[in-house]
Structure 1
Amino acid sequence: MIKIGDLSLGEFPLLLAPMEDVSDPPFRAVCKANGADLMYTEFISSEGLIRDAAKSVQKLDIYEYERPVGIQIFGNEIASMREAAAIAEAAGPDILDINYGCPVNKVACKGAGAGILLDIDKMVSMTAEIVKAVSIPVTVKTRLGWDENTIRIVEVTERLQDVGIQAISIHARTRKQMYKGEANWDYLAAVKRNPRVTIPVFGNGDVDSPQKAKAYKEKYGVDGIMIGRAAIGYPWIFNEINHFLTTGELLEGPDLEERVRVAKRHLDFSVEWKGEKLGLLEMRRHYTNYFRGLPHFKPYRTALVTTDDYESVCEILEEVSRVFAGAEF
């Protein structure tokens, strides 16, 4: 049984990665319904939280149906991160996660996210202060290093564990790689082989099928897998992986009726959470993925991403269901 503090997550948990502009409550809802064991919010700016910025505060929204759930924060100032950690804890998450992995320039080049991998001592000090600031379990999401010459992930994991984190998720790329090239999970195996590391180690990067999840579990010995991009528009991946790990059998992929049903459910959550205008707008990024592989879908996608009222979007989805009935993906 894998545990984070007193939180039991099963034998081999599947985690939904915190993805900016993706891992909002509507997306988390459909992933939870399809087998995700633990989810995290989008990353939230510590400076935004301490200044009560509306966009940052809204990202604190969590719901009972999605538990267990963690709130993830990022920043480059220790004092601000301490204060933001306390604000996040007050929102009632099960876990507080620290983002030491975001590679984008506007974050990393300011010393936050993956940028802190250039200053491991500060990373450890910041983590220690955050652990002291809250009473809930603290976890970390990070990368292997800034580049291939600064990979110290075995040492980093050990030092972060020593100051109190209770699990770590490692994206098996460096910051320099961004999301390109192949993720190198050999470093995760090295972390797991370190006898001093006793906390759960979750692997992230390139897992996009049940077969790959099983192979990585067996080859690298991680305690669970974090799924990111492969879940966008395909929340069924969690149930498919769980089923394959349990039975060795592959589930059939979702048919058109199921895809429309879940896309509609996702839309409803989005409109409920952010109102019709913003809910429709933020849902637009998902339609391509929900219907990927459907031939001649482009005109319907165009209609879905340009229509600006809820009822009309629902009618388009119903038309997709009728026109493509029986289509194979």
Structure 2
Amino acid sequence: MVKIGNIELGEFPLLLAPMEDVSDPPFRQVCKENGADMMYTEFISSEGLIRDAYKSKQKLDIFPYERPIGVQLFGSDVDTMAECTKIATAVNPDLIDINYGCPVKKVACKGAGAALLQDIPMMVKMTAAVVNATELPVTVKTRLGWNDETKNIEEVAERLQDVGIKALTIHGRTRAQMYKGEADWRLIAKIKENPRINIPIFGNGDIDSPEKALEYRNRYGIDGIMIGRAAIGYPWIFNEIKHYFATGENLAAPSMKQRVDACRQHLKFSIEWKNERLGILEMRRHYSNYFKGLPHFKEHRMKLVQSLEPEELFSILDDVLVEFDGYFLETKAKKVDYAGVD
């Protein structure tokens, strides 16, 4: 049984990665219903919380169906991170996660996210401050290092465990790689094999099929897998992996009705949670991914991204189901282009 503090996650948990502008409550809902064992909020700016910024505060919204769920925070100032940890703790998540992996310039160039991989003493100091600011378990998500010359994740793992983190998720790329090239899980395995390490180690990067999930579980010995880009538009990947682990067989690809139903549910909750206009606008990024691979889908997609009327949008989705009912996409989950955080 894998545990983070007192949180029991099963024998080999599948985690949904925190992704900016993606892993909001509507998206998390469809992933939870399709097998995600642990989820996280979008990453939240510590300074935004301190300033009481609306967007940052809204990201603290969590719902009973999501548990267990972690609030992920990022920042560059130790005191601010400690203070925002207290704010996040007050909404009663199951854990606090610190983002030391975001590679994008607007974060890393301000000394937050993956930038802390260049200053391990500061990372340790910040982590200790967060641990001391809450009674909740604190976890960390990070990368192998800043670049190929500074892959310092082995030192990071030991020192962060020493100051009290309860789990560590490692994306198998450096900051310099961004999302390019293949994720290298060999160092992740080395950390898991380290006799000093006794906290759960989760691997992240490039898992886009049940076969690959099983291969990496067996080859690298990690405690669980975090899935990000492959779940965008394809929340079924979690249950597909679990089924493959249990039976050695692949589940059938989701039917067109399942795809349309998931998209409708996502859209409905997006409107309810964000308000009608914003919910509709922010849903536009998801349509292509839900129906990736459908022939001649462009006409429907254009209608979906142009409409601002809920009833019209649901009607367009009904039309999609009528036109493609019985059509099965053979392709499984695949990583999509994503320029957010990890």
- Say whether the fold is shared (TM-score over 0.5): yes
Instruction: Name the SS of the counterpart of 1:293 in structure 2.
Output: coil
C-alpha displacement at 1:128, in angstroms? 0.5
Local SS of the residue matching 2:19: coil
C-alpha distance after superposition, 1:104-131 (max 9, x if no partner): 0000011100011000110011001100
Shift of residue 249, structure 1, vs aligned partner = 1.1
Residue identity in the other structure for 1:155: E
Is residue 106 of structure 1 aligned with residue 106 of structure 2? yes
Instruction: Write the letter of the residue equivalent to 2:35.
Output: G
Tell me, what secondary structure is at the counterpart of 2:140? strand
Runs of 5+ unmatched residues, structure 1 = none
Q: Residue 109 of structure 2 aligns to which amino acid in structure 1?
A: C
Q: In the TM superposition, what is the alpha-carbon distance from 1:328 to its structure 2 partner?
A: 2.5
Structure 2 gaps of 5+ residues are 330-342
- Which residue does the alignment assign to 1:130? 130
For 1:224, give the aligned amino acid.
G
Structure with more relative contact order (C-alpha pairs < 8 Å, separation 6 or more)? 2
Q: Which residue of 1 aligns with 2:261?
A: 261
1:78 touches 1:126 (CA, 8 Å); kept in 2? Answer: yes
Q: How far 1:326 moved relative to its partner?
A: 1.6
Report how far residue 319 of structure 1 moved. 0.3
* 1:294–1:328 Cα contact (<8 Å) kept: no
Q: Residue 285 of structure 1: SS of its match in structure 2?
A: coil
- What is the CA-CA distance between 1:54 and the residue it aligns to? 0.4
For the pair 1:42 / 2:49, whether they are aligned, the reply is: no
Alpha-carbon contact 2:254-2:328 (below 8 Å) kept: no
Separation in 1, partners of 2:125, 2:326: 57
TM-score, normalised via structure 1 length: 0.99
Q: CA deviation at 1:272?
A: 0.8
Aligned length: 329
Any conservation in 2 of the 1:44–1:72 contact (CA below 8 Å)? yes
Give the alignment of 1:60-75 within 5 angstroms: 60-75=60-75
Query: Which residue identity is paired with 1:232?
Result: I
Per the TM alignment, residue 246 of structure 1 is displaced from its structure 2 partner at its CA by 1.3
Give the equivalent residue in structure 1 for 2:225. 225
The letter for the 2-side match of 1:194 is N
Question: Which residue number corresponds to residue 167 of structure 1?
Answer: 167
Q: Deviations along 1:275-300, whole A, 9 cap, x unmatched?
A: 11011111111110100011110110
Counterpart of 2:226 in 1: which secondary structure? strand
Aligned partner of 2:86 in structure 1 is 86
Partner of 2:282: 282
- How far apart, CA to CA, are the structure 1 residues paired with 2:281 and 2:94? 30
The whole-number CA distance in structure 2 between the counterparts of 1:313 and 1:87 is 37
Structure-2 separation of matches of 1:306 and 1:201 = 43
The SS at the match of 2:175 is: coil
2:41 maps to 1:32: no
Structure 1 stretches of 4+ moved >4 Å? none
Q: Is the Cα–Cα contact under 8 Å of residues 201 and 224 in structure 2 kept in the other structure?
A: yes
Aligned-residue Cα RMSD (Å) equals 0.5
Residue 72 of structure 2: SS of its match in structure 1?
A: strand
Q: Which residue type is aligned with residue 291 of structure 1? A: F
Amino-acid identity (%):
65
Match of 2:216 in 1: 216
CA distance in 1, matches of 2:309, 2:117: 45
Partner Cα distance (2:7, 2:327) in 1: 42
Q: Which residue of 1 aligns with 2:310?
A: 310
**Aligned-partner Cα distance in 2 for 1:325–1:30:** 21
Q: Hey, what's the Cα distance between the residues in 2 that align with 1:328 and 1:229?
A: 22
- Describe the superposition over 1:16-66 as per-residue Cα deviations: whole angstroms up to 9, x where unpaired: 000000000000000000000000000000000001000100000000011
Output the CA distance in 1 between the equivalents of 2:190 and 2:148. Answer: 15
Contact 2:68/2:94, CA 8 A, preserved across alignment: yes
Q: Which residue of 1 aligns with 2:51?
A: 51
Shift of 1:152: 1.1
How far apart are the structure 2 equivalents of 1:158 and 1:247?
36
Describe the SS at the equivalent of 1:15. strand
Query: Counterpart in 2 of 1:187?
Result: 187
Structure 1 CA distance for aligned equivalents of residues 327 and 213 of structure 2 = 28
Q: Deviations over 1:164-200 (max 9, x none)?
A: 0000100000000000001000010110110000000
Matched-pair contact (CA < 8 Å) for 2:86–2:133: yes
Contact kept? 2:253, 2:328, Cα under 8 Å: no
